[in-house]
């Protein structure tokens, strides 16, 4: 190990030690001043680098045992800005970038499981009933004419024409035809006699 006589920094390789010793401008007295400015005068690393003209690596070496945590550093920065009357503000370009990033974040991090479950449920309902349950129930509630069960409808259809069946229920033959098609599409409702179903 090679140790710099000026700043006390240690090196494993000879080349690194020689390169450093030629450029090192720090003395033990300067190190004391740097630590004092950082700890007692609350100077930032950037301010110390600018004042003493040292690299970030050297600054890290000198202050490695004195670094503040992020919360303390943030509080000190805020206090300095308030004291100096500095107000941070983003440029329009930065605001736009932040806005786009936030939109992307919310889009990617919305509970996908909830979305997927809803989509899967809708697909299952469409496969089983020919449409989502909510849509089917809504259409049933809007019915204006009492609709017979599928078995009753087909029993009358075997004996009479569409027009004659329609006259029994006070509707046209086309409506009877549509009823039959609707029942064929929604198999689970073929023998549903829960409510008085009405159709427009």
SS (H, E, C) the chain: CEECCCCCCEECCHHHHHHHHHHCCCCHHHHHHHHHHHHCCCCCHHHHHHHHCCCHHHHHHHHCCCCCCHHHHHHHHHHHHHHHCCCCCCCHHHHHHHHHHHHHHHHHHCCHHHHHHHHHHHHHHHHHHCCCHHHHHHHHHCCEEECCCHHHHHHHHHHCCHHHHHHHHCCCHHHHHHHHHHHHHCHHHCCCCCCCCEEC
The predicted-structure confidence for 54-97, as pLDDT tens digits, reads as follows 888 878 888 888 888 888 888 887 887 777 776 667 778 888 88
Q: Which residue has the higher pLDDT, 8 or 111?
A: 8
How far is it, in rounded angstroms, from Cα 120 to Cα 94? 39
**Which pLDDT score, from 0 to 100, does residue 56 have?**
83
Of the pLDDT bands very low, low, confident and very high (cuts 50, 70, 90), residue 195 is: very low
The predicted-structure confidence for 25-34, as pLDDT tens digits, reads as follows 677 788 888 8
Percent of the chain whose pLDDT exceeds 90:
0
Cβ atoms of 173 and 161 closer than 8 Å: yes
């Amino acid at each position: 190990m090679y140790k710099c006589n000026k700043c006390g920094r240690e090196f494993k390789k000879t080349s690194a030690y020689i390169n450093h010793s030629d450029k090192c401008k720090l003395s033990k007295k300067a190190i004391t001043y740097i630590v004092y400015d950082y700890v007692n005068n609350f100077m930032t690393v950037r301010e110390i680098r600018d004042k003493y003209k040292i690299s970030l690596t050297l600054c890290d070496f000198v202050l490695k045992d004195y670094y503040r945590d992020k919360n303390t550093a943030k509080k000190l920065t805020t206090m300095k800005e308030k004291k100096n009357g500095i107000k941070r503000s983003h440029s329009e370009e930065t605001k736009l970038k932040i806005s786009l990033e936030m939109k992307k974040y919310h889009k990617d991090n919305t509970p996908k499981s909830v979305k997927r479950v809803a989509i899967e449920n809708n697909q299952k309902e469409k496969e089983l009933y020919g449409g989502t349950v909510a849509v089917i129930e809504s259409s049933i509630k809007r019915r204006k004419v009492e609709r017979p069960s599928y078995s009753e409808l087909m029993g009358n259809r075997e004996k009479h024409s569409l027009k004659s069946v329609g006259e029994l229920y006070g509707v046209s033959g086309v409506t009877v035809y549509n009823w039959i098609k609707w029942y064929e599409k929604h198999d689970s409702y073929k023998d549903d006699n829960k409510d008085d179903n009405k159709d427009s």
